[in-house]
Chain A
Amino acid sequence: MSAGAAADVAGGALLTGAAGWLFVVFAVLALGTAIAVVAAKSPVHSALYLLASFLIVACIFILEEAEFVGAVQILVYAGGIMVLFLFVIMLVHQRTAPGTATFQHQWDVALLFLPIFLIPFLYILGTEKFPDMPRNADAFRTVGTRVVGNTEAVSWALFRDYLLPFEVASVFLLVAMIGAVVLGKRSVEKVD
């Protein structure tokens, strides 16, 4: 590796140049849609803003060379979870009375919590320095010494090093599925 390339990946810079500005755009959009999710009156509007937020966060992942996680984010969140949310919004026809408030009355107390968390966070961010270690630009694409794609590298890590957590996650999904069916089904007597 030449000295110039080594200096490029060394230090704390994660994104430089145009990619950096792209990150700023995506970050502002993600925060804006997140605020819209919380502030929108209708649940349908909230769900659509949430969908936009998921897609923008997926763009941030892809910008960071985590392409597989970005694709999973789009497939699972934007494809699966959002459809589930929209189904439930259509199942429960909620008629809100015109005068009903969107927020609970303690919203000002909740805003008070923000500085309580923000001040220690900024203090730690200002004082703590992360060690300046060189980055390996090909770490997300290599298996051993071979250069493959990001998907193959992630799957090697997932199925070789984290096989037990993977199996536990599959059991968790089964439990969640059975739980959702039990909670969601009507009792037999009520149907008759």
Chain B
Amino acid sequence: MTITINHFLIVSFLLFSIGFFGVLVRRNFLTVLMSVELMLNAVNINLIAFSRRLSDLTGQVFSIFVITIAAGEAAIGLALTISLFRQRKTLNVEEADTMKG
């Protein structure tokens, strides 16, 4: 089985689509955050595949940066989850519909 860059692009596209679908349709705020992590993972697969295709380390360095950003995003998102739960006693994203704190 010979794998080219196109196979990596297809896998990455499908993974990104699944994450995007999760962000759009899930009600639970925690699952929405997990879907965002799936999307970032799909981007990382692309970066690594092109880094290998072009024999260039830059893609690997940038995927490390993406992982860093994902860690910060998860920390902020989970802090928002806790603060939302304290105020509303729910994690349903449809009930978090006011801008006022």
Contacts and interface: CB of A to CB of B under 8 A. Distances in A.
B14 A169 contact: no
B3 A23 contact: yes
Contacts, number: 234
B57 A153 contact: yes
Given A37-B31, A72-B64, A77-B37, A104 B25 contact: yes
B77 to A, nearest CB: 9
B57 A85 contact: no
B96 interface: no
Size category, B interface: 35 or more
B45 A60 contact: yes
B33 to A, nearest CB: 8
Size category, A interface: 35 or more
Contacts of A88: 30, 78, 81-82
B98 interface: no
**8 tightest CB-CB pairs across the interface, nearest first?**
A20-B1, A176-B72, A183-B79, A139-B55, A38-B22, A15-B3, A180-B79, A136-B55
Interface of B: 1-11, 13-15, 17-22, 24-28, 30-31, 33-35, 37-38, 41, 44-45, 48-49, 51-58, 60-61, 63-65, 67-76, 78-83, 85-86, 90-91, 94
